[in-house]
Amino acid sequence: MLQKFNPKNKDLQVYIDGQLYHRDEANVSVFDSVVQGGDAVWEGLRVYNGRLFCLDKHLQRLHDSAHAMAFTDVPDKETIKKAVFKTLEANGMRDGVHIRLTLTRGKKITSGMDPRLNQSGSTLIVLAEWKPPVYPPSITLSTSTIRRNSPSTIDSKIHHNNLINNILAKIESNFAGTDAALMLDLHGFVSEANGTNIFMIRDGKVLTPTADSCLHGITRRTIIDLCKSNNLPIKERNISLTEFYTADQVFVTGTMGELTPVSAIDGRKIVNKHSQNTLNQINTLFNELTKTQGEPLPF
């Protein structure tokens, strides 16, 4: 499931702090905090059929992350929204698009860790690419030895760019020959995959790990809410690896790949005999939502 270069993205226009640049000229300073320390926050968004899906939720999470990191001079939501619209319009994009929205602490006056070296405000980057959902029809997982950060180290409630925790897990999955890494929390319960949240279904009941150490994903929340409003039993609780091995269905969720079924974990096949109806129902509900919800593009 390694993504390939899409020639449609050859001449992308990328937004950086109010200006649009051809992708070959779209750069940040070597003094930018994201270069110096991964000191930035981000969101991944999708455009479906002329609408920005869950835009307000993504802007809220970006603002919350920036506030928790004590960024200064953060652009307000309206400014960020306009920057996203401007980028999409410049690229003629209305569907099949993924946006990587990044807000860095900004440029430093000299290299160093201290945020007081940042004296010229944050840097806003909007990278929109032609990118239909990237995952294959199903994926395999292997459990990583790298544990997902807990709130005692780096709180997953901050959606930050310091992704080494997850990248180390992904490296293990690459060597293991699986599509993604499954990460446990410090207590040994399943947390999430390296770039997606995870759900299981057993006997028609849907379960997902608590959001103590996983990212509080927007797709995850959408699925939980959909289940609740459609009377599908859903629970957030600690779940062991054995429970996942013996699930009827397992799927991962995220903006990049939407809902993707998992066919095996650590070589144990997910037998898939039961609860297919529940998974189909969740998938249908989610797809309906992406067709009908979201902030309409103004162009």
**Measured from the CB atom, is 118 or 194 closer to ligand PMP?**
194
Q: State which of positions 144-203 bind ligand PMP (CB under 6 A).
A: 166, 192, 195-197
Cβ proximity to ligand PMP: between 89 and 172 the closer is 172
Stretch 240-269 residues interacting with ligand PMP (CB under 6 A): 253-255
Assess contact for 205 and 227: CB atoms under 8 A. Answer: no
Question: Per CB under 6 A, does 208 bind ligand PMP?
Answer: no
Question: Contact between 209 and ligand PMP (CB under 6 A)?
Answer: no
Query: Cβ 117 to ligand PMP, closest distance in Å?
Result: 28
> What is the distance between the alpha carbons of residues 296 and 299, in angstroms, rounded to a whole number?
9
Rank residues 130 and 286 by Cβ distance to ligand PMP and give the closer one. Answer: 286
| Binds ligand PMP by CB under 6 A, chosen from 217, 249, 251, 295 | 217
Which string of x and - marks every residue 72-111 that binds ligand PMP (by CB under 6 A)?
----------------------------------------
Residue 219 lies near ligand PMP (rule: CB under 6 A): yes
Q: Between 20 and 239, name the residue whose CB sits nearer to ligand PMP.
A: 239
Nearer to ligand PMP, 164 or 271 (CB): 164
Name which of residues 42 to 71 contact ligand PMP (CB under 6 A): 44
The single residue listed with the structure tokens 């992708």 is: 23
Kindly state whether residue 36 participates in binding ligand PMP, applying the rule CB under 6 A: no
Choose one: 106-114, 168-176, 211-219, 261-269; the region binding ligand PMP (CB under 6 A): 211-219
For ligand PMP, the binding residues (CB under 6 A) are 44, 166, 192, 195-197, 215, 217-220, 253-255
